[in-house]
A and B are shown apart, each in its own frame.
Chain A
Amino acid sequence: MGKKRKKKNVIPGFGVSLGITITMLGLVVMIPLCSLVLFSAELSPTEFLKTVTGARVLSSYRVSFETAFFAAVIDAVAGLVIAWVLVRYEFPGREIMNGLIELPFALPTAVAGIALTHLTTANGWVGSIFHRFGIEIAYTRIGITVALVFIGIPFVVRSVQPVLEKVDGQYEEAANILGANPRQTFCRIILPEISPALIAGFTMSFARGLGEYGSVVFIAGNTPFETEIAPLMIMSKLQEFDYSSATAIALVMLFAAFIILFINALIQSRASRIVSGID
């Protein structure tokens, strides 16, 4: 099908549009990226290692990874349930619920941050309830996780929802007729179909959570070794004009993000190979 088109582009305007695309891409993405690479090349390896293995930096990585991971797990579960409800059931308020999902995209993170903080302090609307049971949310890692759950929820829902909509009802019916109970049907029929999308959503909310700053700084309390996240470490190095340390910490974070996305890409391509039947 593509053979004929390979020879020549019939559609006009290739030069202009490629030119504009590359120019803007160059200005906005490529030049800054090159300067990051150039600057990193100048860092001395010993200093780099010393910065990224400093106790405070290491603990900030741990806080970031732990909170982002737990938040992504909670998002995956909650997101799956919400997507399921939105696709499978008809109930009053469904349209409103569907429209609400993108709220964390639309609401500025700083606003979400201060609102969540005030809600979850010991005398906040929600925090006071938990406070009675001795659980503090704001200014602890639980607080950071709450903020990251808020940020990540649309990624899972919007990733799973379209796939769930396309799941063919025939297979479920067949499973039913063959005597499967609802749990078996879900685990054997539906989950395998939607798991690539669920993993993609999980990955995106995990990766986003690792880098999130705006909503977290307010709720975190930013105590060193306790609730200090990696992006905040970069920020404080920048405020001291210590660009080499900031860059070193940032490179490790970038590397981690790329590994996560790469693993996801592997899973996705394997899944699409299985679906298309090409080995």
Chain B
Amino acid sequence: MKQKKKCGVHGWILIGLSSAFLIVMLILPLIYVMVTAFREGWHSFSAAVTDKYAVASIKLTLEVTLITVICNTLFGIFASWTITKFRFRGKKIISTLMDLPLTVSPIIAGLIYVLTFGRQSFLYPYVKASGFDIIFAVPGIVLATIFVTFPFISREIVPVLTAQGTDEEEAAALMGAGFPMIFRKVTFPHIKWALLYGIVLCTARAMGEFGAVSVLSGHLKGKTLTMPLYIELLYQGYDFSGAFAVSAILVLMAVIILVIKSILVYKGKEEEL
């Protein structure tokens, strides 16, 4: 805060440029989606979003997002606890592998799951014997979404835990506390906001994932179409008002997520001070 200056002429020019850039690049698309969604009135909007297939896609997106967030929260907590509180060989490999999904194109993420569970895979006989469809079905969509958002939560927690060190946990352990007790009473209060922030980011990405899911979905209307895929289908069928109506729901969710995120960042900073 010490450096905050009153802005001179240069300052105002820079502020103006930044605002113009952000308004054109970020806000205008949002406004456009909302305007187009409601251009033909409330009725056509509500008809588009209560369509049988639209409702099915909303349900599927919520399901996939929920499962993904649960899995990745579990992983994020344990993984960041493991790599920050203990010293062991191979730690570097684990943290590299954890962050790998961030650098892989969503399409390639989809591709590697097709190669894993598809017909040419060494796993295929087992997959087939289990009678459980993975690719071109819902489990594939869930797996792809988990992959794409895999490191989102651990990446938020790891820096906080690294900064905090291990002294408090060691003290608790020496006084006889077990793992659940230490986690709940000592570690969790530190990572609370970072964890929530990670969950919010993970939710945002999970509900909007397109590329990876597009590879693994069989594109069956009402069965394996998530909201972004359903939007693509409507858009390609030139049903623009329908596509933008469903998009409006996602825009609304994105705005809610941004608001929650800002609150979390604010709360986290407040606690630090």
Contacts and interface: CB of A to CB of B under 8 A. Distances in A.
Contacts of B87: 2, 5-6, 9
Listed residue (B24, B74, B120, B182) with the most chain A CB atoms within 10 angstroms of its CB:
B120
Contacts of A234: 105, 107-108, 111
Contacts of B82: 14, 17-18, 21
A30 to B, nearest CB: 7
Contact of B11 (A89, A149, A210): A89
A257 B105 contact: yes
B178 A12 contact: yes
Q: Is the interface of B mostly helix, strand, loop or mixed?
A: helix
A91 B7 contact: yes
B13 to A, nearest CB: 10
A90 interface: yes
A263 interface: no
11 contacts: A12-B178, A29-B100, A38-B122, A97-B22, A100-B26, A100-B258, A114-B247, A211-B108, A213-B214, A250-B105, A261-B103
A14 B251 CA distance: 42
B205 interface: yes
Contacts of A82: 18, 21-22
Contact of A81 (B3, B14, B251): B14
B6 to A, nearest CB: 7
Interface of A: 2, 5-6, 9-14, 16-18, 20-22, 24-25, 28-33, 35-36, 38-39, 78, 81-82, 84-85, 87-91, 93, 95, 97-100, 102-112, 114-116, 118-119, 125-126, 149-150, 153, 169, 182, 207, 210-214, 218, 231, 234-235, 238, 243, 246-247, 250, 253-254, 257-258, 261
Interface residues of B, number: 102
A10 B171 CA distance: 9
B29 A115 contact: yes
A111 B6 contact: no
Given A11-B169, A112-B29, A213-B107, A18 B14 contact: no
Contacts of B11: 85, 88-89, 91
A98 B208 CA distance: 22
